[in-house]
Amino acid sequence: MLHPVVRTILQRLGLGLITLFVVSLILFSSIEFLPGDFGEAVLGQAALPETVAAFRKELGLDLPMHERYFDWLGGILTGDMGNSFSGRGSSGGTDRSRPVIELLAPRLANTLFLASMAAIISVPLALFLGITAALYRGSIYDRMVNAMTLTTISFPEFFVAYLLILVLSSFTKLFPSLANIGPDVDFWERVYLTALPALTLTLVIVAHMMRMTRAAIINLMASPYIEMAELKGASKSEIILQHALPNAWAPIVTVIAFNLAYLVVGVVVVEVVFVYPGVGQLMVDAVTTRDVPVVQGCAMIFAATYILLNLFADIISIITNPRLLHPR
């Protein structure tokens, strides 16, 4: 018999796969119902009915929907997301369509880099602020931290971004306002260039994680076993770090996972403001030109990110839960 933790993880993995399958189905059919047509969008003024028809034929858009769906799904399972629509031969010029993977991979790497930068700054910061705020609950420090993080989360992210550009870039010239990194930029240069976008994202997500940390710990502080710890004479920080925190991980990790997923899938605005070549911009461009394979590829990656990170959060909350770790 499997260890219950292993069994739960396997179960979750299976559920994740099923979810991904359902997502692919919804995604494909919803794109199908979108108005507009790639041929018309690309050809613009030159869209004569014959050209549009020829275009649809070349792209295989004249096949029935279920055939195209299984084609596409089969491709994804074998790691092939197809070729982009834009740059096809009939849109003028030679065939310049590129495999979606080739378009997506460098952008995804950039997005993940930015997300990790923001995570490395924001997660420890949020945990630290949350724990200390819980420790000094009701003090001026607690109030200050709360007020400040709530302020930054309340502003739309483009506004935070422009404020940072104004102060750190226009006035003080500390950081560049353009983060258009290339593939051969070395690591430290990359860190320097992505500083402002990472900082913007940090300011936007820190409040959520910090408040959840604080709330989870404060919630536990009322439990009898904490009272017990207090009675046996443990110091306040000992109580929080050794007794409260292990039991508080589950809600905290869930919120952290949620925010990390946001860092990957929801940063289009920040990417646009800083001209950061990430997946978000690629997807928006693809939507405006109705480049369906690219949109689908991006969306699948976003969905997979969400599912994986949530899975990860679940696993962590399971293994930090002493009751699950020591089954009887």
Partner 1 sequence: MDIKDLEKAAKAGTLGRREFIKRAGALGIAAPFAATLLSQSVQAAMPKKGGYFKLGVGHGSTTDTLDPGTHENGFMSDTVYAYANHLFEVDNTQKLVPELAESFEASKDAKTWVVKLRKGVEFHNGKSFGAEDVIASINHHRGEGSKSASKSLLDPLVEMKKTGSHEVTFQLSAGNADFPYILSDYHLAILPEMDGKMDWQAGYGTGGYIIEKFEPGVRIQLKRNPNYWKAGRAHFDEVEVISLIDVTARQNAVMNEEVHVIDRVDPKTVHLLSRNPKIRILETTGTLHYTMPMRVDQAPFDNYDLRMALKLAVDREALVKKILLGHGAVGNDHPISTANPYHNSEMPQRTYDPDKARFHIKKAGMENTQIDLSTSEAAFSGAVDAALLVKDTAAKAGININVVREPKDGYWSNVWNKKAWCTCYWGGRPTEDWMFTTAYVKESKWNDTAWTKGAAVDRFNELVVAARSELDTEKRRTMYYECQQLVNDDGGALVPMFANYIMALNNKIAHDDVVAGNWDKDGNKAIERWWFA
Residues 64-101 as b/e (b if ≥16 CB within 10 A, e otherwise) read eeeebbeebeeebeeeebbbbbbbbebbeeeeebeebe
Confirm if 293 and 86 have CB atoms less than 8 A apart. no
Non-local (6+) Cβ contacts of 55 within 8 A are 38, 39, 42, 43, 61, 88, 90, 91
- Of 81 and 252, the one with the shorter C-beta distance to partner 1 is 81
Range in contact with partner 1 (rule: CB under 8 A) among 74-82, 85-93, 210-218, 250-258: 85-93
Q: Judged by CB under 8 A, which of 59, 100, 103, 260 binds partner 1?
A: 103
Question: Residues 9-38 vs partner 1: string with x where CB under 8 A?
Answer: --------------------------xxx-
| Contact between 58 and partner 1 per CB under 8 A | no
Site for partner 1 in 238-297 (CB under 8 A): 272-275, 277, 282
Q: How far is the CB of 275 from partner 1 (least distance, A)?
A: 5
Helix (H, G, I), strand (E, B) or coil at 13: helix
**Member of 1, 2, 33, 49 binding partner 1 (CB under 8 A):** 49
| Cβ neighbour number for residue 274 with a 10 Å cutoff | 27
Closer CB to partner 1, residue 145 or residue 273?
273
Write down the residue that tokens 């096949």 correspond to. 63
Is residue 75 a contact residue for partner 1 (CB under 8 A)? no
Does residue 48 touch partner 1 according to CB under 8 A?
yes
Return the bridge partners of 99, or none.
Answer: 83
Candidates 38, 178, 42, 180; CA nearest to 106 is 180
> Applying CB under 8 A, which residues contact partner 1?
35-37, 40-41, 43-49, 52, 84, 86-87, 89, 92-94, 96-98, 103, 162, 165, 169-170, 173, 176-178, 180, 182-184, 272-275, 277, 282
